[in-house]
């Protein structure tokens, strides 16, 4: 029978994952009037996700990842993550697949969920990372749904159900991290650094270019809000 600590971690991972179908539902019902407000909200959601992603990298993934690595090995893991995400981008573009945002979403959700489990097993706090994963999954789910619905004849409700099913990967990966990877801090540290490099690549390749709007200055504040949430969570967890 799992103890309460494990159940808490699994619950946090599940809630973080459910932000993906929540983002899809938001995209499904995104018709807001007037049009300028709809556009600002869309760009603001993107900025919120970008801020949370950068916050996760700066406050969780890199600080925890470098604890068991040398400068050289940490750098290699970090650069390796960015190169891997770039290679995935190139592959998806060449094959003209409508799932590039989906692949990007899963490629950071999975290692972050692993990190969530190992962090809990090693006695660290999980609420900050879980909160940041949820905040970034919301706009990623929003974008992935729009991308797939625009280029697919799939039923919208089925797409949302697929996203909900993918949320189950969070608890599974968190459990793997908790029970198996916690004994290998160097490996999980490498995974966190790898994910950090990939996430930063994704932010500047996919998300940041979509935030800017000509003669509109509020959407970037979403990034500030996303990062601020991370700072507040970090301070509360370490106080």
CA distances from 29 to 23, 33, 68, 157 (A): 10, 12, 45, 12
pLDDT at 15: 92
Residue 213: beta bridge partners? 216
Spell out the SS3 assignment of 77-131. HHHHHHHHHHHHHHHHHHCCCCCHHHHHHHHHHHHHHHHHHHHHHCCCCCHHHHH
Predicted confidence (pLDDT) at residue 213 exceeds the cutoff of 50: no
Instruction: Output the pLDDT for position 173.
Output: 92
Q: Chain-centre distance of CA 107, in angstroms?
A: 8
- Domain positions in the chain: 4-238
**202 falls in which pLDDT band (50, 70, 90)?**
confident
Give the residue-averaged pLDDT of 39-63.
75
Mean pLDDT of the chain: 76
Residue 212 has a pLDDT of: 46
Q: Is pLDDT above 90 for 65?
A: no
Tell me how long the chain is. Answer: 239
Using 50, 70 and 90 to split pLDDT, how confident is the model at 216?
Answer: low
**For residue range 73-121, what is the model confidence (pLDDT) as tens digits?**
888 888 888 888 878 877 877 776 656 667 767 777 888 888 888 878 7
pLDDT at 49 over 50: yes
- The pLDDT of residue 170 is 92
How confident is the model at residue 172, as a pLDDT?
Answer: 93
């Amino acid at each position: 029978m799992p103890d309460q600590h494990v159940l808490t971690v699994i619950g946090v991972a599940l809630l973080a994952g459910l932000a993906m179908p929540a983002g899809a539902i938001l995209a499904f019902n995104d018709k807001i009037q007037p049009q300028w407000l709809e556009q600002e909200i869309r760009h603001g959601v993107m900025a919120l996700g970008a801020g949370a992603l950068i916050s996760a990298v700066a406050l969780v993934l890199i600080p925890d990842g470098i604890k068991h690595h040398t400068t050289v090995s940490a750098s290699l893991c970090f650069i390796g993550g960015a190169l891997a995400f770039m290679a995935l981008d190139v592959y998806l573009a060449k094959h003209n697949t409508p799932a590039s945002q989906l692949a990007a979403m899963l490629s950071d959700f999975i290692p972050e969920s692993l990190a969530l489990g190992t962090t809990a097993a090693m006695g660290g706090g999980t609420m900050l990372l879980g909160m940041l994963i949820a905040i970034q999954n919301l706009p990623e789910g929003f974008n992935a749904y729009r991308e797939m619905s625009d280029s697919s004849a799939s039923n919208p409700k089925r797409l949302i159900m697929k996203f909900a099913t993918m949320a189950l990967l969070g608890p599974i990966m968190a459990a793997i991290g908790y029970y198996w990877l916690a004994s290998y801090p160097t490996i999980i540290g490498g995974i966190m650094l790898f994910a950090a490099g990939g996430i930063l690549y994704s932010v500047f390749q996919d998300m940041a270019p979509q935030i800017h709007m000509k003669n509109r200055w509020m959407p970037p504040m979403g990034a500030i809000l996303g990062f601020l949430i991370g700072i507040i969570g970090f301070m509360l967890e370490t106080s």
